């Protein structure tokens, strides 16, 4: 795979201890339970605590955001990501997808205004791409933006927007030219407090409201808030989506494998711990091997990035691999629990307070987020393997 990831030297143990002490002192008291995936607090007070937490990380030089200026070297950054992942508390708020768009296409003023505020938690962003009739087929979006003097007037509806109920800004795609298809779409920075913006949280099968509908009724957006050029929003969005898919694929699956081992040691089959079953050990072993491959895929992408290389299919490949492995592990965890697999958060006998049940319900969202796996397989086939394009109607 042409992977080059050296082991963390023992001399970095003191940095890890120092970081753990900081986390113990500053970690916020927020109740996110044992939620899987990108989840959003229900209480605005918890959002305020998370902003304070992200700011504290930034001010101490521990910000994991790639938009923060830090003096951390490669090994310190790896330790930082490992330790923050163990907390189960978000250290980057909202959907920072706009960051990639601003880095590549934003004006200097836009970069200076918004990128530092993402790193400090001052600004929370949401992504306003999908619509009720334009999900994976994003090119068919219908939200319209009409130029009126030095503002665009925007009307339409967006859906599946994470963090929108608490967001300060939205990364919006709207059609500025007549017609359909990829041409004539423009990317905007939307102030979510603008008159005409209405956000309505959606209650999901997980029992939480991580996604929202957003309604835009003649919302005025300054022309200065266009990202890139008018009509070139598809190019801007494509660069961003590549990074989002890479983000999904880089999520940890080793922790879930360890969780399956704990589960199999506790639950019993035929009067004995399930872990003593050859079939169970082999199943978990297969998951462990696939999790190791996921990690190597991530290392490979990181190695290519260090050389300034990268391919359009890197993110999709990792995203498909992780999202399908994640669903299969959650499904297997419910089977290991037997009848207790039907118990959910809050019920006395639910294992780890329904952690795996929540993971199972949320897992299908990751099959869709960043582009459905079916769409991404087409991308890999056409751009990676140079296979003939699917017939277009």
The Cα-based distances of 25 to 18, 46, 59, 70, 208 in angstroms read 11, 17, 14, 21, 29
φ, ψ at 232 (rounded to 5°): -110, 25
Q: Does residue 388 contact residue 325 with C-beta atoms inside 8 Å?
A: no
Q: Which of 230, 241, 224 is nearest to 99 (CA)?
A: 241
For β-strands 272-273 and 169-175, DSSP reports them as unpaired
Q: How many CB atoms lie within 10 A of CB 202?
A: 15
φ, ψ at 38 (rounded to 5°): -85, 100
The residues carrying an active-site annotation are 244
Beta bridge partners of 147: 152
Q: Which of 28, 26, 27, 30 is nearest to 39 (CA)?
A: 30
Q: Both tokens of residue 160?
A: 């599946």
Burial pattern 257-266, b for ≥16 Cβ within 10 A else e, equals bebbbebbee
Taking the C-alpha atoms of residue 325 and residue 313, their distance in angstroms, rounded to an integer, is 18
φ, ψ at 199 (rounded to 5°): -115, 135
Query: What DSSP character marks residue 141?
Result: -
Taking the C-alpha atoms of residue 304 and residue 310, their distance in angstroms, rounded to an integer, is 6
Taking the C-alpha atoms of residue 201 and residue 164, their distance in angstroms, rounded to an integer, is 8
Three-state DSSP class for residue 76: helix
Q: Both tokens of residue 306?
A: 């260090």
Q: Does residue 87 contact residue 27 with C-beta atoms inside 8 Å?
A: yes
Looking up tokens 């397989």 gives 377
Q: Does residue 329 contact residue 321 with C-beta atoms inside 8 Å?
A: no
């Amino acid at each position: 795979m042409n992977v080059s990831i050296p082991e963390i030297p023992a001399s970095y143990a003191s940095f890890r201890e120092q970081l753990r002490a900081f986390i113990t002192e500053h970690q916020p008291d927020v109740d996110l339970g044992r939620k899987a995936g990108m989840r959003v607090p229900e209480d605005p007070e918890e959002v305020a605590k998370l902003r304070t937490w992200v700011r504290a990380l930034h001010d101490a030089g521990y910000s994991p955001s790639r938009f923060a200026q830090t003096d951390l070297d490669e090994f310190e950054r790896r330790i930082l990501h490992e330790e923050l992942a163990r907390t189960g508390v978000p250290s980057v708020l909202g959907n920072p997808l706009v960051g990639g768009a601003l880095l590549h296409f934003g004006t200097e003023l836009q970069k200076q205004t918004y990128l530092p505020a993402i790193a400090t938690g001052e600004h929370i962003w949401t992504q306003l791409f999908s619509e009720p009739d334009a999900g994976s087929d994003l090119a068919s979006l219908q939200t319209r933006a009409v130029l009126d003097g030095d503002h665009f007037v925007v009307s339409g509806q967006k859906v599946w927007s994470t963090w929108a109920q608490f967001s300060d800004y939205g990364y919006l795609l709207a059609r500025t030219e007549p017609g359909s298809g990829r041409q004539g779409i423009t990317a905007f920075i939307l102030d979510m407090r603008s008159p005409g913006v209405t956000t309505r949280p959606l209650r999901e099968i997980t029992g939480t409201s991580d996604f929202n509908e957003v309604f835009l009724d003649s919302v005025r957006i300054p022309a200065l808030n266009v990202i890139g050029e008018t009509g070139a929003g598809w190019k801007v969005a494509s660069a961003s989506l590549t990074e989002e898919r890479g983000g999904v694929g880089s999520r940890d699956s080793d922790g879930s494998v360890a969780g399956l081992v704990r589960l199999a040691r506790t639950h019993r089959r035929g009067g004995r711990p399930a872990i003593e079953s050859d079939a169970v050990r082999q199943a978990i072993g297969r998951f462990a091997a696939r999790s190791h491959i996921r990690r190597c895929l991530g290392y490979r992408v990181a190695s290519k990035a260090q050389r300034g290389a990268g391919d359009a299919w890197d993110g999709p490949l990792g995203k498909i691999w992780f999202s399908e492995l994640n669903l299969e592990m959650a499904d297997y965890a419910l089977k290991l629990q037997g009848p207790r697999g039907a118990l959910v958060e809050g019920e006395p006998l639910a294992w780890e307070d329904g952690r795996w049940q929540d993971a199972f319900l949320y897992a299908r969202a990751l099959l869709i987020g960043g582009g459905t796996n079916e769409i991404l397989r087409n991308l890999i086939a056409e751009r990676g393997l140079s296979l003939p394009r699917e017939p277009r109607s």
